[in-house]
Amino acid sequence: MRRYILRRVAAFVATLFFVSALVFVVVRVLPGDPALVIIGAEGSPEAAARLREALGLNRPIPVQYVEWLTRALRGDLGVSLQYDVPVGRLIVSRLPVTLPLTVMAAVLMAVTALPLGLYAARRHRRAGDYLAMVVSQIGIAIPGFWAGLLLILLFSVHLGWVQSGGFAGWSGGLWPGVRSLLLPAIALGLFQTAVLVRATRSSVLDVLREDYVRTARAKGVNELSVIAKHTLRNALIPIVTVAGLQLGQLMAGAIILESVFALPGIGRLALGAITARDLPVVQGVTLFVASTIVLINFAVDLLYVVLDPRIRYE
Amino acid sequence: MRHLAKLLLVLLALIPLAAPTAAPAQNLILQGATEPPGLDLTATPASATATVVFYNVQEALVKVDRHGKLVPWLAERWNTSDNKNYTFFLKRGVRFHNGREMKAADVKFVFDRAMNPETKHPAVKQYEVIGDIIVKDDYTITFALKSTNANFLWTMARQGSVIYPREAVETLKSEPIGTGPYKLGEWVRGDRIVLVKNGEYHVKGLPKIDRVTLRFIPDPNAALAALKAGDVDASMFGLGPEHIPDLQKDSRFQVIVGETTNDVIMSMNNAKKPFSDVRVRRAITHGINKPDVVKGAMFGLGRVLGTNVDPLNPYFVDMSGAMPYDPAKAKKLLAEAGYPNGFETVLKVAPQYYYTVRTGEVLADQLQKIGVKIKIEQIEWGQWLSRVWKDADYDLTIIGHAEAWDIANYANPKYYFRYDSAEFQKLFQESEVTVDDKARRELYLKMQKKLVEDAPVVWLYIHPRLAVTKKGLQGLWKDLPAGAGVMDLSEVSWAKQ
């Protein structure tokens, strides 16, 4: 196990190194100049040239990368060109929005998709199954940003139950914060929930056809026990795999929904930074998201061992 | 004992009547589309920065008021006997937000710094005309110009000429300090900027709002939802013309449609074939039905333009009829230029500015009728700045020029239009040193006529000011003569209910 963990840590470091180098080069090779974006069309190209010099963007890309990497290894991700604030501090300041948003969407996904998928599998080819499949099909077909706008229209504009966007913060207590993230979490989780319903249904259906389930039923084990102990646990491995991948996609989906709901999260930070060519921020956010996804995958692998004691990592 | 209790109860009941009733705090929540790239007006000419800082947090010696007139501001008056030496007499008792009084030495510091190339002031060229700055006393300062400059007072009123205390120069980008009606409260990056009332503002009785929150909602539909749900009191920038007819019918809101300095133009690359031929440029101009463009792309909101000078400029002349829609003439001109069957060309637009794409689609349809087939290429704003604006790597492009007094762009052959006319440049240079208003007006007329004749770009329309507020909000500017992004909140208040 120790060797396995060491191997994974080495892979983690290699992934981050690769991602950072790739993003560094791609962002700098793409047309678009941070100095020009800061100066804008109202300024002069001469002013932009002076700013470019001051920002150190005239030096060769490898030199810039080595400098950036040396500082990053010491935990310094640089300073945002747009905000003049350390990148690390910017990312940390956005976590109280994106983290709860993603977690809420994931919880929503789990508590809705698992029972619904299970229900559909148990009612295979009956009305309940078809209904669940139609609902999940709609969930897959509606893009998150559109669902977000529809939710705003209904719950904010017409009913006035929640605010239309923005983040209330956590200083006023738990509820105002949760309330402002409720609609975005639903919109964000909708697609992934629908996908997970289908994954759960098919995985449970596979297991229900297994001999050991038939044997358990033949032995007279009660149905609840058949489902909870014999079926669900065995069906969980593919479900967890899908769910793990979906967590990463939730973070990606947050980029669009944070804009629709005007939430000051990591996604909107990334989008704004790309538009403004705020290179240190793009770099920092990418590294952060990449690390999170690698860590989630690692956690999923470890979870396999818990779910299925036959799995060993040596 | 019972009597005492009764007496106490009566006294308690009277307390609310006796206590002075404090006026309820007046708050204002605004929606803006773009978050500023820093708050330092001496480092960026971005209009999103001006929206927050200019006139609200920081002010200049001279101000362009809501009618487009130059008025004394931090300077209570100025005089000049020879149009080369300008003496400004500062208003006394004006305090910066840090409590210190503004003195002539601060003004000198600000302009010395702006003129220093090391500062990287984006408009450093405008200050090159200043030869010497002499502080006569704490409240009197003279600018000795190297030569006569007709724009000098306008330069002093520009957003890059704001006065700030020299001790706060390091924090201009994140915590600007000035003399304005509001102090910067907080900036929650990515979410909002809060401005709080400056109780010691130098204009008595202003401002009337205690706290202004500017929320950044980039998505126009989300902005509309926030307005309709009552989460914001006003949408200042960001709603499109398609939202206006519906909101005009809604009794909860008032819609402000005004003029701006933002002229939307289709530029043609004057250095590149076929647009290097003036006949082709004229043909394109004759091939465009501008009123239909405004109808199709802007729901009929926006004034049709004929030349560069905007209607808020004192030298505006309506030339919208000078090159009328005439497809037959357009075809004839194209044939003369050697393109009897028209040609294919690429129009680059940046969808960050919604009107560029819509306008492009209408133009592509119209120009097809004279044989010019347009392929629309959408590029991201950062790329537009690099490829089109800086490198002039384009055939056609559409953008709004929001800055006031921008005719100088046509006198700069390196500007992305690549328009190079010695005659125009001479007229412009002359206008820069002509102080007499009548003579200068004459020169501006000549310049505009020359522009119409040479058709370096197609002036399409003025992008209107579109703001929507809850009923009862008063004091906002209708027109925006000081720059299309300027949002003066000093006189804004809620009407008494």
Cβ contact, residue pair A259, B124, below 8 Å: no
Rounded to the nearest angstrom, the minimum Cα separation between B388 and chain A is 10
Secondary structure E strands in B209-304: 211-216, 234-235, 253-258, 263-268, 303-304
Strand pairing partners for B78?
A: B88
B49 to chain A: nearest residue by CA?
A: A38
Residues of B with Cβ-Cβ distance to A33 under 8 angstroms: 382, 385-386, 390
Tens-place pLDDT, residues B34-44: 888 889 999 88
Which of A80, A81, A84, A263 should be substituted to probe chain B, the one whose Cβ sees the most B Cβ atoms within 10 Å? A84
Rounded to the nearest angstrom, the minimum Cα separation between B401 and chain A is 8
pLDDT at residue B6, rounded to an integer = 57
Q: Hey, which residues 48-107 in chain A have their CB within 8 Å of chain B?
A: 48, 50-51, 54, 82-85, 90, 93-94
The Cβ of residue A81 has, within 10 Å, a number of other Cβ atoms equal to 23
What is the rounded CA–CA span in Å between residue A312 and residue A1? 8
Q: Shortest CB distance from A50 goes to which of B45, B120, B123? A: B120
CA distances to A90, A218, B197, B310, B458 from B407, rounded to whole Å, are: 40, 90, 37, 10, 14
pLDDT at residue B34, rounded to an integer = 84
Cβ contact, residue pair A272, B221, below 8 Å: no
What is the rounded CA–CA span in Å between residue B421 and residue B293? 29
Does the CB of A225 have a partner CB in chain B at under 8 Å?
no
Cβ contact, residue pair B231, A44, below 8 Å: no
Return the axis-axis angle of helices A174-208 and A127-141, rounded to nearest 10°.
130
Which of B231, B243, B393, B418 should be substituted to probe chain A, the one whose Cβ sees the most A Cβ atoms within 10 Å? B231
Does the CB of B105 have a partner CB in chain A at under 8 Å?
no
Instruction: Reply yes or no on whether the pLDDT at B26 is more than 60.
Output: yes
Q: What is the mean pLDDT of residues B371-390?
A: 90
ipTM value, please give it.
0.76
Residues of A with Cβ-Cβ distance to B125 under 8 angstroms: 44, 46
Instruction: Reply yes or no on whether the pLDDT at B18 is more than 50.
Output: no
Rounded to the nearest angstrom, the minimum Cα separation between A65 and chain B is 21
Residue of higher predicted confidence among A161 and A38: A161
B159 to chain A: nearest residue by CA?
A: A42
Does the CB of B436 have a partner CB in chain A at under 8 Å?
no
Q: From the centroid of its chain, how far is CA B47? A: 6
Residues of A with Cβ-Cβ distance to B43 under 8 angstroms: 38
Tens-place pLDDT, residues A167-182: 888 888 889 889 989 9
A163 to chain B: nearest residue by CA?
A: B231
Q: Shortest CB distance from A44 goes to which of B43, B46, B122? A: B122
Which of B169, B189, B383 should be substituted to probe chain A, the one whose Cβ sees the most A Cβ atoms within 10 Å? B189
What is the rounded CA–CA span in Å between residue B195 and residue B208? 13
Tens-place pLDDT, residues A218-249: 888 888 888 888 888 888 888 888 888 888 88
Instruction: Reply yes or no on whether the pLDDT at B19 is more than 50.
Output: no
Instruction: Reply yes or no on whether the pLDDT at B10 is more than 80.
Output: no
Q: How confident is the model at residue B110 (pLDDT cuts 50, 70, 90)?
A: very high
Instruction: Reply yes or no on whether the pLDDT at B336 is more than 80.
Output: yes
Instruction: Reply yes or no on whether the pLDDT at A289 is more than 80.
Output: yes
A159 to chain B: nearest residue by CA?
A: B229
Residues of A with Cβ-Cβ distance to B389 under 8 angstroms: 36, 41
Q: How confident is the model at residue A314 (pLDDT cuts 50, 70, 90)?
A: low
Tokens read off for A18:
């690769």
A87 to chain B: nearest residue by CA?
A: B189
Instruction: Reply yes or no on whether the pLDDT at B344 is more than 90.
Output: yes
* B460, B291 Cβ separation under 8 angstroms: no
Instruction: Reply yes or no on whether the pLDDT at B449 is more than 90.
Output: yes
User: Of B25, B41, B178, B142, which is closest to residue B494 (Cα–Cα)?
Assistant: B25
Residue with tokens 């960050």: B352
Strand pairing partners for B195?
A: B184, B212
Cβ contact, residue pair A260, B229, below 8 Å: no
- Phi-psi sector, B306: left (phi>0), alpha (psi -120 to 50), beta: alpha
Instruction: Reply yes or no on whether the pLDDT at B22 is more than 70.
Output: no
Does the CB of A35 have a partner CB in chain B at under 8 Å?
no
Instruction: Reply yes or no on whether the pLDDT at A311 is more than 80.
Output: no
Residues of B with Cβ-Cβ distance to A54 under 8 angstroms: 120
pLDDT at residue B5, rounded to an integer = 55
Residues 6+ apart with CB under 8 A from B32: B48, B51, B214, B215, B216, B217, B236, B237, B238
pLDDT at residue A3, rounded to an integer = 83
Rounded to the nearest angstrom, the minimum Cα separation between B496 and chain A is 25
DSSP A60: -
Report field, pTM of the whole predicted structure over 0.95? no
The Cβ of residue B268 has, within 10 Å, a number of other Cβ atoms equal to 26
- Phi-psi sector, B307: left (phi>0), alpha (psi -120 to 50), beta: beta
Q: What is the mean pLDDT of residues B66-89?
A: 94
- Per cent of chain B over pLDDT 90 is 78
- DSSP-assigned letters across all residues of B422-467: HHHHHHHHHHHH---HHHHHHHHHHHHHHHHHH-SEEEEEEPPEEE
* B380, B388 Cβ separation under 8 angstroms: no
Q: Shortest CB distance from A82 goes to which of B37, B45, B383? A: B37
Cβ contact, residue pair B190, A277, below 8 Å: no
Tens-place pLDDT, residues A38-56: 777 766 777 778 778 877 7
Rounded to the nearest angstrom, the minimum Cα separation between A301 and chain B is 35
Does the CB of B250 have a partner CB in chain A at under 8 Å?
no
Rounded to the nearest angstrom, the minimum Cα separation between A234 and chain B is 44
Residues of B with Cβ-Cβ distance to A153 under 8 angstroms: 225
Tens-place pLDDT, residues B384-412: 888 898 889 999 999 999 888 889 999 99
pLDDT at residue A208, rounded to an integer = 86
3-state secondary structure of B183: strand
Q: How confident is the model at residue B4 (pLDDT cuts 50, 70, 90)?
A: low
Instruction: Reply yes or no on whether the pLDDT at B211 is more than 60.
Output: yes
Tens-place pLDDT, residues A277-288: 888 898 899 888
Does the CB of B316 have a partner CB in chain A at under 8 Å?
no
Q: How confident is the model at residue B334 (pLDDT cuts 50, 70, 90)?
A: very high
Q: Name the average pLDDT for chain B.
A: 91
Q: Hey, which residues 274-303 in chain A have their CB within 8 Å of chain B?
A: 275-277
Count of A-B CB contacts under 8 Å:
150
B232 to chain A: nearest residue by CA?
A: A164
Which of A83, A93, A279, A281 should be substituted to probe chain B, the one whose Cβ sees the most B Cβ atoms within 10 Å? A83
Does the CB of A160 have a partner CB in chain B at under 8 Å?
yes
- Element at A271 (helix H, strand E): helix A266-275
pLDDT at residue B17, rounded to an integer = 45
Residue of higher predicted confidence among A147 and B3: A147
A85 to chain B: nearest residue by CA?
A: B174
Residue of higher predicted confidence among B354 and B25: B354
Tens-place pLDDT, residues A56-112: 788 888 888 888 889 888 888 888 887 888 999 999 999 999 999 999 999 998 899
User: Of A38, A94, A74, which is closest to residue A270 (Cα–Cα)?
Assistant: A94
Tens-place pLDDT, residues B224-236: 989 999 999 999 9
Report for A137-141, A219-223, A295-299, B325-329: range of highest mean pLDDT: B325-329
Q: Shortest CB distance from B125 goes to which of A32, A44, A265? A: A44
Instruction: Reply yes or no on whether the pLDDT at B20 is more than 80.
Output: no
Does the CB of B229 have a partner CB in chain A at under 8 Å?
yes
- Per cent of chain B over pLDDT 70 is 95
Q: How confident is the model at residue B193 (pLDDT cuts 50, 70, 90)?
A: very high
